[in-house]
Amino acid sequence: MHYQQGQDRNQIMMISLDQMVADDSFARIIDLFVDAMPIEELGFEHVKLNKEGNIPYHPRDMFRLLMYGYRNGIRSANKLAKACSINMEVMWLMKGLQPSPRTINYFRSNNSKAIENANRHFIKLLKQWKLVDGKTIAVDGTKVRGQNSLKNNFNHKKIKRHIDYLDKKMGDYLDQEQVAEQQLKGKKLKEKKDELNAKMDDLVNREDRFEELKEQIDQSHDGQVSLTDPDSRAVIKHRGIVEVGYNIQTTVDAKNKIILDQFVGGVNDLNDLGKAVKRTQQTLDIKKMNVLADAGYYNGAEIAYVERLGAKPYVSPREPTYQKQEGYRKSDFSYDRLNDIYICPQGHQMKHILTFRRGSKRKYNVKRYTTPNCNNCPVRNHCTSSIHGRYIERPSHQNYVERNNNRVNKNKDYYRQRQTIVEHPFGTFKRHWGMTHVMVRGRKNVETEYRLAAICYNLQRGLSILGHDTLIKRLANLIRTIFGFFVSQKFYMTSQRIITVMCRQLKFSCIRYHRRSDYSNLSVIA
């Protein structure tokens, strides 16, 4: 008996890159998918060559490389560049090209808008294929770590804590100096004073730096500043754990769990529902849809905005605020919509006396209601402790909120779909692809990262739903639409490669194409 023996490493073998890649490899799907994209219309750079300058890489090749990397958890530009020389599938996909990490990073950051357009183009394509209907969508956010440590993120509370610490240390050094003057003399006293003066000078410089940061915080829109990645923010993940990063807002279609859109939201979900719905409507060109969201999105102004956009929000209501003192709650007061008055538990009419504006992102009107009968009311102490009497406030979006609450309460089973719809992509990204943190800095670049991952995810979903052969046929149909039946010398080699791959993957007999006019046979396959 003996061990299995390998081949001689010095043996010369005649083999092509194409033979080293399996017929059902996802790299072949990526290759056809990118060929089926209208790269020039999407706005990628270097689609057209300049008369002078360095020879660039074709955007199709770079797009293939990024898609393969994000599908297989290789997001680092250095690792992608290394894969071009050691990974057989990447070598096949790139046709032996080996771009530098700098080139890969520049392509990713300079084509953010084009990648967003590619994502939207693919969603519209999936809609044509009946994989997306837009009838029910779910919205949720997930927190990911950024390229910025918690130590390099500051707010007013942290700045004050640092300055108080420096003031305390300064006092300690002054006390040490006073003790040294009493106990030391001559050279030792001078050395001790020089040492303490150097430490105090360092404290002064550090305090000046914190004062500068305090001014930056005052000018920021949310009261915090990050030094390494200025766009990252301190976000609460769960159970009070704080990390500096981004809140990735994701919209998912219920039919096949296809990701419709992704963007970076605020530090929480409270003000992002309207933006998520509007972007989805623009992508799908659909106004009427049901929107499922958790209690983190329960914001009356956003709920009203979504309904005015034409969608129906199903946002889980929050528990009412706990009332510390005993007495009547707001729910004990009934609203007469016809006469625009509130009726208090004692039967008195509370009329509208004041209207004012409120809200940070979306402004809205608030009406205040009260009654003069509070002065002589026998249960006044049970109702309010204010010298001005009890008043009730009603925001202008209250009707929208009540309709939302009724929808959720009457359709609890329907609402429970939310978690099964939107958590599927998050599980794939974080558990399978390791996207718990970002590899780039800046809001725009982070959005590009997750949109690249969304394209790969949707392509994988299409493969799982349609099957290998059907997806190949549909991509081939797209390529035939783009290239038509006009085959010039420029497209001849591309057509040969596409037809060879499709023949192999569709299990056609080996057909060799010798004439350029044979490109019309692509219609048989498509």
DSSP 8-state class, residue 321? P
- Per the structure, how many domains does the chain have? 4
Domain hosting residue 492, numbered range: 470-526
Q: Cα(397)–Cα(365) distance, rounded to whole angstroms?
A: 8
Residue 486 sits in the same domain as residue 427: no
**Gap between the Cα atoms of 507 and 468, Å rounded:** 12
Establish if 83 belongs to a structural domain. no
How many Cα atoms occupy the beta-carbon half-sphere of 426 within 13 Å? 19
**Do 141 and 280 sit in the same domain of this protein?**
yes
Q: How far apart are CA 258 and CA 131, in angstroms?
A: 8
Q: Is residue 175 located within the same domain as residue 210?
A: yes
Q: Which helix (H) or strand (E) holds 397?
A: none
* Residue 288 placed within a domain: yes
Q: Is residue 349 part of a domain?
A: yes
Which of 226, 244, 267 marks a domain boundary? 226
For residue 62 the two structure tokens come to 């770079």
Residues 142 and 172 in one domain: no
Tell whether 413 is covered by a domain: yes
**Pair 313, 339 in one domain:** no
Strand 242-253 with 136-145, pairing: antiparallel
Strand partners, 334: 343
- Residue 22 domain-assigned (yes or no): no
One pLDDT digit (tens) per residue for the chain, 526 residues: 789 888 888 888 888 899 999 999 999 999 999 999 999 999 998 888 877 778 889 999 999 999 999 999 999 999 999 999 999 999 999 999 999 999 999 999 999 999 999 999 999 999 999 999 999 999 999 999 999 999 999 999 999 999 999 999 999 999 999 998 888 888 888 898 899 999 999 999 999 999 999 999 999 988 999 999 999 999 988 777 889 999 999 999 999 999 999 999 999 999 999 999 999 999 999 999 999 999 999 999 999 999 999 999 999 998 776 666 677 888 889 999 999 999 999 889 999 999 999 987 889 999 999 998 888 888 888 888 888 889 899 999 999 999 999 999 999 999 999 999 998 899 899 989 999 999 999 999 999 999 999 999 999 999 999 999 999 999 988 887 766 533 443 444 444 555 555 555 444 333 333 333 343 444 333 3
d(C-alpha 365, C-alpha 254), whole Å: 35
Q: Are residues 411 and 310 in the same domain?
A: yes
- Does any domain span residue 37? no
Residues 189, 180: contact at Cβ < 8 Å? yes
Question: Per the domain annotation, does 489 fall within a domain?
Answer: yes
- DSSP letters, 49-91, are --SSSPPPPPHHHHHHHHHHHHHTT---HHHHHHHHHH-HHHH
The answer to whether residue 65 is domain-embedded is: no
462: exposed, middle or buried (C-beta count within 10 Å: 0-12, 13-18, 19+)?
Answer: buried
* Contact yes or no for 224/150 (Cβ under 8 A): no
Judgement on whether residues 166 and 221 belong to the same structural domain of the protein? yes
Last residue of a domain, one of 186, 204, 226: 226
Residues 361 and 302 in one domain: no
Phi-psi region of 321 (alpha: psi -120 to 50; beta: other; left: phi over 0): beta
| CB contact at 8 A, 36 and 60 | no
